[in-house]
Chains A and B, each alone.
Chain A
Amino acid sequence: EAGVTQSPTHLIKTRGQQATLRCSPISGHTSVYWYQQALGLGLQFLLWYDEGEERNRGNFPPRFSGRQFPNYSSELNVNALELEDSALYLCAGTSQGGRIINTEAFFGQGTRLTVV
């Protein structure tokens, strides 16, 4: 069974540009979480999507947005990139959607975003 896949693996953008990151959870997982891991910092929660809807978002500005598609894959968009957006972006999938809650979260390998 394929694991959680994220693309691209690496992304280099210029300040002010937009970045789009993609995530495909394991088959059967309907929830997708996005986290930011800046160098030397812990994992900071960004966004949570379940069944196509945004369920919760972390303490990030509105230029961080995303969506979830009918096949449960997800996209994270970061507009007006700033240097401090440089980080490893991780996504995770679970079956946790308010109905089945005691499930294991599986993470992808991340997208390394570098803003120059």
Chain B
Amino acid sequence: KQEVTQIPAALSVPEGENLVLNCSFTDSAIYNLQWFRQDPGKGLTSLLLIQSSQREQTSGRLNASLDKSSGRSTLYIAASQPGDSATYLCAVNWAGNTPLVFGKGTRLSVIA
């Protein structure tokens, strides 16, 4: 079964700290992996998309890496800010007629 797991479920850090969110997935035959941000009660905002042929993608203070062979991706957030507080979701697109499969997310709190 194709599953996505995110650890930790929740994380609280002081402002300014660099942090790493983890995502693991079964079955390394992925097409791409996408990281999203979700604010409470809101929709999902796409942060980064990593194609299966790529090892990392960067956008501003965010850097996402992909290691297909080990079934892992990490989202690195540099110099965290209170505005980064949200739930971060990892989603994997596998081959065939399959939809994005989501992890349960990591709820991040950045304390000023």
Contact = CB atoms under 8 A, between A and B. Distances in A.
Interface of A: 4, 6, 33, 35, 41-43, 45, 48, 55-56, 58, 88, 90, 92, 96, 98, 101-102, 104-110, 112
Given A88-B41, A107-B46, A110-B43, A101 B103 contact: no
Contacts of A6: 43
Contacts of A55: 97
B66 to A, nearest CB: 13
B99 A107 contact: no
A4 B36 CA distance: 15
Contacts of A35: 102
Given A42-B105, A107-B36, A109-B43, A33 B93 contact: no
9 contacts: A42-B102, A42-B103, A56-B98, A90-B44, A102-B32, A102-B52, A107-B44, A107-B45, A109-B42
Nearest to B51: A102
A43 B42 contact: no
Given A56-B98, A92-B100, A101 B46 contact: no
Interface residues of B, number: 25
B91 interface: yes
A110 B51 CA distance: 26
B89 interface: yes
Contact of A43 (B31, B41, B49, B102): B102
A56 B99 contact: yes
Interface in B44-63: 44-46, 49, 51-52
B64 to A, nearest CB: 13
Given A33-B99, A101-B93, A106 B31 contact: no
